[in-house]
Amino acid sequence: MNHTDGEQAMEPALEYVSYDFALSRRDFVKATLGAGLLLVVPATAFAQQKESGQRRRSTFLGTGARNVAARIHFGVDGTITVLCGKVEGGQGARAELSQAAAEELRVPVERIQMLLADTSVVPDDGMTAGSGSTPRTVPAIRRGAATARNLLIEFACARWKAPRTDVEVRDGAAVHAGSHRSVSYADLARDGSAAKLLDASIPSNVALTPTQEWKVMGTPVSRPTGREIVTGVHRCPSDIARPGMLYGKILRPPAFHAELLSIDLAAAQAMPGVVVVRDGSFVGVAAANTQQARRAMEAIAPTAKWQMTTQPSSRELFDSLREHAEGGAPVNPFAAEVKTGKSLRREYHVPYIQHAPLEPRAAVAEWQGTQLTVWTGSQNPFGVRDELAQTFHMPEEQVRVVIPDFGAAFGGKHTGEYAVEAARLARVAGRPVSLRWTREEEFTWAYFRPAGVIEAEANLDDKGRIATWHFVNINSGPNAVETPYAVGKSDCLFVPSAPPLRHGSYRALAATANTFAREVFMDELAALAGADPLAFRRAHLEDARLRAVLDAAAEHFGWQAKSNAGIGLACGTEKGSYVAACVEIEIDRTDKVIRVKRVCEAFECGAIVNPANLRGQVQGAIIMGLGAALREEIEFENGRILNGSFREYRVPRLEDVPEIEIHLVNRPDLPSAGAGETPIIAVAPAIANAVFRATGARVSALPVRV
Amino acid sequence: MDARITFTLNGKPQALTTDSERPLLEVLREDLHLTGAKYGCGEGECRACTVLLNGEPVPSCLTTVGEVRGQSVQTIEGLAQGETLHPVQEAFLKESAFQCGYCTPGMILGIVGVMQKNPQASEAEYREELQKHICRCGGYPKYRDIVSRIAGTGTVKARV
């Protein structure tokens, strides 16, 4: 059995790009700045090769805030700044974390300034990934804020020599019940004892405001930076400019794993104002604007000679994954039972797909002596800091990583190679360098959602119930590999393989693949049992929360009343939240097009922290799920991506969007779970099941085709 | 080859000397520090780089700076009148019609372009423009709702 809890299961092994600036290099790096000016940079400024598998210092969960002062800064002018290591990439962390602080500090949410992800000042709250901000960081912020509120009460009690029961905090001030005297957080900040008071550690058991008393949490607080967004003045990482900044370009190999044999840099070196860097396989240029950098790169790239490696193509992907399954594809331990009665054996395929965030990877790097500052878009600020520190052989304290609110990630921005590349160029240039990957680079050199082969086998007992269940995911991951249904005997496994492409996290990760395969298999088993897909699921569902969303989706959709052939449903659970979707489709058999007309999704993630943002996340996940269900698939051949552009890799657009109904099931009695991921998992299998019902032809692969 | 180029930018004369083959997007962002127009694909497929050229929404990644010589360019930074937002900006802000916000300036200018050209433009005309824009966060239902309230009126009607 594979274990699906713990940090390892939350994130797949991240494939870092390990730049090796020390192995095959000479004692210095030569660079020309302008025609003829030679810079010599000592080799010790750059990295030694990292030992493979070396663990980075930052962790998935982070260390959190050491004390109240590390979490909240109270200004003598009344400002309240909350410090947090999470990032905002459109998922709504900024609003939600502000609500958490405002709730416990007893201040209006507008009073909170939320300072996110500047590693020089914020606590390490871990990666912004795995739907972790809501269940872990919101409580961490609340504990810090509740502790601060208690400190204010103690401060007031001491000042007034009043019992604690006579003092309460409202609207940012401790108020004495009898005398109506008050003392604010700013008063506390002005007091000589403030530094000592705020040095207090944050107790893990500090009392938090009960859900039924929430005033700020549970309300639809909007994005604090909305005005900057609609006026175009918000600066994403790719918008950051520094005085004297240059723009970089990196030489990319013509195929994965190609080794640079030789290159003639002379043409770029002769260009005025162009900085050229070669260090082993790393070749980059920087110039006063992107056009000049592009021209310089275009002048030298054709002179590069490469050692190429033969690699598999997407046509043989699934054979290759199965063939390289570690230890071979496991056999079904229930093989003997499967031979009796009704049984099914199926195989499902899930291709590589891309996150394609609208802002490609970007970083601005600036050196001041031995201090390095990088502004970049990443879900892993402290991880990027450590990656930079290791690559350039520096203590972490000399590296500052700042993550401005950026143009989305969806699990795709966990590593920091673009920050390393920008810093490598900036080091030689002696000036800040902005590196912005092109869309083609993003489609090629970023990582992909893992492809997978899923083998499923089950048999039914004489009452039409699932007696044995064998489910094996090869390569794509362990998330949601276990079945949530009550079955007789179950054996669910994840088996790693040898992936031909660099893969990593994605929205809901392998829960997309595993839920697709399981839910499609469930419909086939329902057909085998002669049962309605809804009734068949309900007969196997003991999990009350999953059952509740399935019932909600089916009821609002009108499942029972519909005889329409083109309907399908699916449900699932991942990371502590629950989802069910019903869809209605139309098939154009001439053009072989599946048109989704309606999606009705029910979602439950415990107590809802921000209903407006939650609705946006669910809606966005449904639409992203439509792309993966119907169109998205990375094609590759011999180390080259064949459809690496928005022209060829079609992501959902306005006219692809069906009528969408979202039913949020609020459970104030339960802890809040994250919601950025799970709402995506039911979409693709519901569509596949609708196609199966409409055509009778079973679906065994994504994207779904007719 | 560097050339002196003059054009009208957000209602004011703008002059610069640069390579006229450079994409307008890069000149706006790198030389003029107007970063509201974003790079998303470089081939006009996502329209995050939309600006108004003589009132018409165009992808600034495919427009060279030489092509706008003597023309009028409007970027998102020039849309609000002082502190007063354009009604389309106001609608996006009020509806929180953004997630990461990277496509937002282009979306807003696309809608404003259709609106300025024909205040009576139909919903289909707005949707035809929006179909060119990619919002990877999937905020389309909100944009659809906003243009349904603009269509035929030239302003943004209150939600009924």
Selection from A606, A602, A618 nearest residue A569 by Cα = A602
Tokens representing A617 are 């996340």
Residues in chain A closer than 8 A to B93 (CB atoms): 226-227, 230
CB of B8 less than 8 A from some CB of A: no
Residues 48-67 of B with CB under 8 A from A: 48
Could you tell me the pLDDT band of residue A36, with boundaries at 50, 70 and 90? very low
**pLDDT at position A32:** 34
Quick check: B99 and A408 CB within 8 A?
Answer: yes
pLDDT tens digits, A434-481? 999 999 999 999 999 999 999 999 999 999 999 999 999 999 999 999
Work out the average pLDDT over A629-646: 98
pLDDT at A562: 86
Mutate to test the interface with B, among A222, A230, A294, A626 (most CBs of B within 10 A): A230
Q: What is the mean pLDDT of residues A333-360?
A: 96
Q: What is the mean pLDDT of chain A?
A: 92
Residues A513-524: pLDDT tens digits?
A: 999 999 999 999
Instruction: Give the residue with greater pLDDT, B91 vs B156.
Output: B91
Q: Could you give the CA distance from residue A381 to residue A396 in angstroms, rounded to a whole number?
A: 12
Q: Do A231 and B89 touch (CB under 8 A)?
A: yes
- Judge: B99–A90 Cβ closer than 8 Å, yes or no: yes
Residue A175's pLDDT band, with cuts at 50, 70 and 90, is very high
pLDDT of residue A13: 54
| A11 has a pLDDT exceeding 70 | no
Q: Which two tokens stand for residue A275?
A: 């900085």
Interface predicted TM-score of the whole assembly (ipTM), two decimals:
0.98
Q: What is the pLDDT of residue A508?
A: 96
The pair of three-digit structure tokens given for residue A375, joined into one six-digit string = 């502004």
Mean pLDDT of A287-307: 98
Residue A439 confidence (pLDDT): 98
Averaged pLDDT, A125-150: 97
CB contact under 8 Å between A226 and B93, yes or no, is yes
> pLDDT tier at A48 (50, 70, 90 boundaries)?
very low
Average pLDDT over residues A503-527: 97
pLDDT tier, A541 (very low <50, low <70, confident <90, very high otherwise): very high
**pLDDT of amino acid A27:** 29
What pLDDT band is residue B158 in, cutting at 50, 70 and 90?
confident
Q: Which tokens hold the place of A482?
A: 């276990």
The pLDDT score that the predictor gives to residue A6 is 40
What is A371-426 written as a DSSP string? EEEEEE--S-HHHHHHHHHHHTT--GGGEEEE--S-S--TT-----HHHHHHHHHH
Q: Which of residues 131-160 of B touch A (CB under 8 A)?
A: 131, 133-141, 143-144
Is the minimum CB–CB distance between B100 and chain A shorter than 8 Å?
Answer: yes
| Residue A651 sits at the chain B interface (C-beta within 8 Å) | yes
The verdict on a CB contact (< 8 Å) between A289 and B143 is: no
CB contact under 8 A, B140 and A653: yes
Q: What type of residue is B71? A: Q
Q: Is the pLDDT of residue A41 over 50?
A: no
SS3 A562: coil
**pLDDT for A2:** 37
Please report which confidence band the pLDDT of residue A581 belongs to, taking 50, 70 and 90 as the band edges.
very high
Which residue in the block uniquely carries the two structure tokens 């007091």? A191
Contacts of A89 in chain B (CB under 8 A): 100
> Which residues of chain A are within 8 Å of residue B96 when distances are taken between CB atoms?
222-223, 226, 612, 616
pLDDT of residue A16: 73
- Can you give the pLDDT at residue A21? 52
End-to-end CA distance of chain A: 35
Interface test with B, best of A294, A358, A613, A615 (most B CBs within 10 A): A358
Give the closest-approach CA distance of A96 to chain B in angstroms: 13
Tell me whether residues B26 and A291 touch, CB distance under 8 A. yes
Pairing mode, strands A259-262 and A305-307? antiparallel
Interface residue A615 vs chain B (CB under 8 A)? no
Is the bond preceding A703 in cis, omega lying within 30 degrees of 0? yes
Contacts of B34 in chain A (CB under 8 A): 232
Percent of chain A, pLDDT > 90?
Answer: 89
Give pTM, 2 decimals. 0.94
Could A360 and B138 be called an inter-chain contact, meaning their C-beta atoms sit closer than 8 Å? no
Does the structure show a pLDDT above 50 at A24? no
**pLDDT of A54 strictly over 70:** no
pLDDT tops 70 at residue A37: no
Categorize the per-residue pLDDT at A282 as very low, low, confident or very high, splitting at 50, 70 and 90: very high
In whole angstroms, give the CA distance from residue A651 to residue A624. 8
